[in-house]
Amino acid sequence: MGNPMKIRATAKDGVTEVKVLMSHEMETGFRKDSSGNPIPAWFIAEVTAKLDGKDVMKAQWGPSISKNPYLSFKIKGGAAGGKVAITWVDSKGDSRTDQATIA
């Protein structure tokens, strides 16, 4: 399991803006170590966002996403005090879920 995500969610005029900073090495599988051996691919493959328990966004990622990826998106609905949960699953099957309260 990776380090905790930094999540900020704010609601204004019926729209919730979510900003997420994920901590993950995101290895492409194309690089080689100092001995010339390939470094195996290891990246976030799927991201899911929930607003008060309901799926509102799903993304499938590949090895071209940068290390410690940043994700920002807007959702219709949500209000102060609601909960936004973000889950990622990586190519090795590891996962992480964190949540934030909407401000």
Instruction: Count how many domains the chain has.
Output: 1
State percent of the chain over pLDDT 70: 99
Asked whether 63 and 56 are in contact (CB, 8 A), the reply is: no
Range of the domain at 46: 6-101
Any domain includes 97: yes
Any domain includes 50: yes
Mean pLDDT in residue range 35-50: 97
Any domain includes 28: yes
Any domain includes 66: yes
- Tens of pLDDT, residue by residue over 60-98, are 999 999 999 999 999 999 999 999 999 999 999 999 999
Does residue 33 carry a pLDDT above 80?
Answer: yes
Rounded CA gap, 79 and 16, in Å? 7
Any domain includes 45: yes
- Domain of 16, CATH number, reads 2.60.40.10
Does residue 1 carry a pLDDT above 70?
Answer: no
Any domain includes 89: yes
Mean pLDDT score of the chain, rounded to an integer? 96
Of 74, 85, 73, 94, which is closest to residue 24 (Cα–Cα)? 94
Any domain includes 25: yes
Any domain includes 1: no
> Residue 16: is it exposed, middle or buried by C-beta count within 10 angstroms (0-12/13-18/19+)?
buried
pTM: 0.93
